[in-house]
């Protein structure tokens, strides 16, 4: 089974990621309309806890599998690669089983001390089998990634997402008559069903497509169990600690926000619904344009690593500055649309226009969120992957403090939560950019890079504002009016950028070259 090139492997994962994100967003739209924000709130209260348990169960071992299998395969030691994989697989079976059992045994404790709403109990119980399934699946994905075969991971992740969406909606619909807590539990069961489909599919790929060790093949170096365990955990522990810390921070949000909404004077059902609207609607829309910036971050890692490998610092700086400029250009229109059409979009897409108040505030942090993602890709390409994590922890301290105080203010509520997240995105982006300047010597002048997109955004805002009365006179369809205003604003935004030099001929030529390259890859 031959390995893929870095570019081909990156593209496979990129297209798979785009498909999964678009499908996931569509799923969220239908799920919110089906089980309402209260059901979404119940699910999102317990999901970060589930992710935290999965992180502890896998303990960074899949990453170690990928790296160590890759090293052994490069040496031509295929039998040694299989030995590492099997030892890690049995370790994950044991840890997955232990944490699954602990979840069942500790569910009553969580219900008493952690879950804000007791109705979330069933959603958590239905998720628990996924701990073992994900642990096993991650081992096989790590094995194929170590062989530089990204297609099995991409295909199984897409299948997993598809089954999750279809089964989650179907089961939630069937359980809805029993009550909203059972419908939310149906969404959890959809997650497990998708993960099971992903595991079965990658297991079948492994059985049919795994590389066969030739008869008479001898292991170049027979490594002891102890030696393999040391190698695995030397790699796995730092990854595990990083993921544990970042997941814990998400879990704190999931616990703290509903608690502060209750302290604000809301009832339990109202607080759950408000939290569901914030997570399931406002944040979902804010993260939608991140498909572009995450793709850019993915592409930046090998691009910057390659330039750094040949000590081409000038090229590194140029790519960093271009990445920041493109991120601002791509992120600004969504900010304008979300600020000016927040209620209309939340009403049309999710049927909950009230969520627009939170979205309007969150949108102010949009450009910084997208910058944080892009700058994370740059720092990873520079080999400074620890810096975004440290910056995230620092920014999270401000976020948690902001959520605690601002969400508890009666006049703010969930809008206070939105403001806290804006502060978090700003601090994260600025710290990342400071590190990029430090490690590359690049003079990224954010205020100058913002001028042209801001000027275009101002023109876009005027068009969106003035076009409302004209479009309303032409049609009574709210969908057509909102869509028309957004599209008209986008056209003006692009035209102004072309006129003021924000978008250059070189940018258009690069876009044309990228499209041509991707088309060429598909036709091969």
Q: Render pLDDT for 208-266 as a digit per residue (tens, 0 to 9).
A: 887 776 665 555 556 667 777 777 778 778 777 878 888 898 889 988 999 999 988 88
Q: Which residue has the higher pLDDT, 250 or 14?
A: 250
330-357 in b/e form (b: 16+ CB < 10 A) is bbbbbbbbbbbbbbbbbbebbebeebbb
Q: What is the mean pLDDT of residues 383-409?
A: 90
User: CA separation (Å) from 328 to 324, 353, 457, 505, 515?
Assistant: 6, 27, 11, 18, 21
Cβ distance 39 to 272 under 8 Å? Answer: no
Are 367 and 296 in contact by the 8 Å Cβ rule? The answer is no
Chain mean position to CA 362: 17
What does the alpha-carbon distance between residue 346 and residue 344 come to, in Å, rounded to a whole number?
6
CB 140 within 8 A of CB 92: no
More confident residue, 165 or 70: 165
Question: What pLDDT, on the 0 to 100 scale, is given for residue 293?
Answer: 64
Alpha-carbon gap, residue 405 to 398, rounded angstroms: 11
Identify the pLDDT of residue 221.
57
pLDDT at 95 over 60: yes
Instruction: Please compute, for residue 446, the number of CA atoms within 13 A of its CA located in the half-sphere on the CB side.
Output: 15
Residue 2, pLDDT > 90, answer no
Q: Rounded CA gap, 453 and 449, in Å?
A: 8
**Residue of 183, 161, 185 lying closest to 172 (CA atoms):** 183
Report residue 300's pLDDT band, with 50, 70 and 90 as the boundaries. low
Q: Are 402 and 423 in contact (CB under 8 A)?
A: yes
Higher model confidence: residue 501 or residue 510?
A: 501
**242 vs 190, residue with greater confidence:** 190
458-486 burial: b if 16+ Cβ within 10 Å, else e? ebbbebbeebbeebeeeeeeeeebbbbbb
Does pLDDT of 481 surpass 50? yes
CB 327 within 8 A of CB 449: no
pLDDT, residue 6, reads 46
Which pair of tokens denotes residue 475? 């049609």
- Comparing 153 with 402, the larger pLDDT belongs to 402
Q: Is 212 helix (H, G, I), strand (E, B) or coil?
A: coil
pLDDT at res. 170: 96
CA-to-CA distance for 147 and 382, rounded, in angstroms? 24
Q: Does pLDDT of 398 surpass 50?
A: yes
Residue 196, CA distances (Å) to 91, 162, 206, 263, 413 in order? 19, 12, 15, 39, 39
Lowest-pLDDT choice from 97-101, 395-399, 443-447, 486-490: 443-447
pLDDT score of 515: 41
Q: Is the pLDDT reported for residue 513 higher than 60?
A: no
- Quote the CA–CA distance of 507 and 226 in Å, as a whole number: 53
Mean pLDDT, rounded, for 47-62: 90
């Amino acid at each position: 089974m031959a390995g893929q090139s870095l570019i081909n492997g990156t593209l496979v994962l990129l297209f798979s990621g785009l498909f999964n994100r678009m499908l996931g967003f569509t799923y969220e739209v239908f799920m919110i309309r089906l089980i309402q924000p209260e059901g979404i709130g119940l699910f999102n209260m317990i999901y970060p806890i589930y992710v935290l348990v999965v992180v502890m169960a896998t303990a960074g071992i899949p990453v170690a599998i990928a790296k160590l299998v890759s090293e052994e395969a490069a040496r031509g030691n295929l039998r040694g690669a299989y030995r590492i994989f099997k030892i890690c697989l049995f370790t994950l079976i044991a840890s997955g089983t232990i944490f699954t059992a602990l979840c069942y045994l500790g569910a009553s404790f969580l219900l008493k001390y952690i879950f804000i709403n007791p109705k979330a109990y069933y959603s958590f119980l239905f998720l628990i089998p996924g701990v073992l399934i994900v642990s096993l699946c991650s081992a096989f994905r790590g094995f194929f990634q170590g062989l530089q075969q990204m297609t099995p991971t991409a295909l199984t992740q897409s299948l997993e997402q598809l089954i999750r969406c279809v089964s989650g909606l179907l089961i939630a619909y069937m359980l809805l008559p029993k009550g909203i807590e059972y419908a939310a539990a149906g969404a959890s069961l959809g997650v497990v069903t998708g993960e099971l489909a992903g595991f079965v599919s990658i297991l079948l790929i492994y059985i049919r497509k795994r590389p066969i060790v030739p008869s008479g093949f001898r292991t170049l170096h027979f490594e002891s169990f102890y030696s393999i365990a040391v190698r695995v955990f030397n790699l796995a522990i730092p990854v595990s600690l990083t993921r544990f810390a970042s997941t814990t921070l998400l879990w704190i949000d999931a616990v703290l926000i509903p608690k502060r909404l209750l302290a604000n004077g809301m009832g339990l059902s109202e607080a759950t619904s408000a939290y569901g609207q914030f997570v399931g609607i406002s944040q979902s829309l804010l993260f939608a344009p991140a498909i572009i910036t995450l793709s850019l971050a993915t592409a930046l890692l090998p691009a910057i690593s390659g330039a750094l490998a040949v000590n081409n610092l000038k090229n590194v700086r140029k790519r960093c500055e271009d990445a920041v400029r493109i991120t601002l250009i791509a992120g600004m229109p969504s900010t304008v649309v979300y600020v000016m059409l927040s209620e209309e979009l939340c009403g049309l897409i999710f049927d909950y226009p009230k969520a627009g108040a939170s979205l309007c505030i969150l949108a102010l942090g949009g450009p910084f969120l997208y910058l944080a993602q892009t700058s994370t890709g740059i720092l990873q390409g520079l080999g400074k992957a620890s810096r975004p994590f440290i910056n995230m922890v620092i920014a999270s301290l401000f976020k948690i403090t902001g959520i605690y105080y601002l969400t508890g203010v009666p006049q703010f509520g969930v809008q206070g939560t939105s403001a806290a997240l804006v502060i978090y995105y700003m601090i994260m982006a600025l710290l990342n950019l400071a590190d990029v300047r430090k490690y590359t010597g690049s003079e990224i002048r954010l205020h100058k890079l913002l001028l042209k997109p801001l000027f275009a955004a101002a023109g876009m805002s005027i068009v969106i504002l003035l076009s409302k009365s004209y479009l309303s006179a032409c049609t009574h369809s709210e969908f057509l009016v909102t869509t028309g205003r957004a599209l008209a604003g986008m056209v003006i935004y692009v035209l102004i950028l072309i006129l003021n030099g924000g978008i250059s001929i070189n940018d258009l030529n690069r876009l044309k070259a990228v499209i041509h390259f991707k088309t060429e890859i598909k036709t091969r």
